[in-house]
């Protein structure tokens, strides 16, 4: 939740520097990165708290068991969608670490194996030329892509937990 204040601070500094000093190159992109992290990591947290928004046209009038049945079915579509996003995110993260092949999971497996057998130096040998943003600031993109993959993994875990809660509600148990 505190990332929003960091983003506000960055945007405030951007406004001050554009008004009184030389404009900075890093502020807009940093604010975008902070907003992505805020959104991606905040999604699973809001579902955990039950503060996500639902369409309530028919849903509000249904019994708890009917709601749980519908939620249990729709979570499969959500899990499929999140799985596709995660696979694409892993491929994009692998690309940002210098891997240009078609098997991002093999790349990460090799990276982890190299790290645990030879440490940072061996892992550095696996990593290629890292992707940078095409802007004038040119930050590395793997940190924000890693945050996106982390948020997607957390969302998959939270969706699976909601699925288990729905199954419990269908069976008449409260988890």
11 closest CA partner among 40, 33, 42: 33
Per-residue model confidence (pLDDT) at position 88: 94
Under a CB-based contact definition with an 8 Å cutoff, are residues 174 and 64 in contact?
Answer: no
Q: What is the pLDDT of residue 79?
A: 93
pLDDT in tens, 91-131: 999 999 988 888 888 899 988 999 999 988 888 888 888 88
Report pLDDT for 59. 79
Identify the pLDDT of residue 154: 95
Low-confidence stretches of the chain (pLDDT < 70) are: none
Query: What pLDDT score does 95 carry?
Result: 92
For the chain, how many structural domains are there in total?
1
What is residue 24's DSSP assignment?
P
Give pLDDT, residue 28. 86
pLDDT of residue 90: 94
Return the pLDDT at 160.
94
SS3 content of the chain, % helix, strand, coil (to 5): 75, 0, 25
Q: What is the span of the domain harbouring residue 52? A: 3-171
Confidence (pLDDT) at 80: 94
The b/e string for 81-97 (b: 16+ C-beta within 10 A; e otherwise) is ebeebbeebbbbbbbbb
User: Which pLDDT score, from 0 to 100, does residue 146 have?
Assistant: 94
| pTM, rounded to two decimals | 0.84
CB atoms within 10 A of CB 113: 13
Please give the pLDDT value at position 116. Answer: 93
Token digits of residue 172: 């008449």
**Per-residue model confidence (pLDDT) at position 9:** 92
């Amino acid at each position: 939740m505190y990332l929003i204040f960091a983003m506000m601070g960055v945007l405030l500094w951007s406004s001050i520097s554009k008004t009184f000093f030389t404009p900075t190159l890093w502020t807009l992109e940093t604010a975008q990165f902070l907003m992505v992290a805020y959104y991606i990591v905040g999604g699973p947290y809001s579902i955990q708290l039950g503060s996500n928004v639902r369409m309530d046209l028919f849903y509000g009038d249904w019994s708890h068991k009917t709601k749980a049945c519908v939620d249990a079915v729709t979570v499969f579509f959500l899990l499929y969608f999140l799985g596709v996003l995660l696979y694409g995110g892993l491929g994009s993260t692998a690309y940002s670490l210098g891997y240009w092949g078609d098997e991002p999971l093999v790349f990460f497996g090799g990276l982890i194996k190299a790290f645990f057998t030879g440490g940072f130096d061996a892992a550095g040998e696996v990593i290629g030329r890292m992707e940078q943003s095409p802007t004038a600031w040119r930050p590395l993109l793997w940190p924000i892509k890693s945050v996106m993959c982390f948020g997607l993994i957390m969302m998959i875990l939270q969706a699976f937990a909601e699925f288990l809660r729905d199954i419990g509600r269908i069976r008449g148990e409260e988890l």
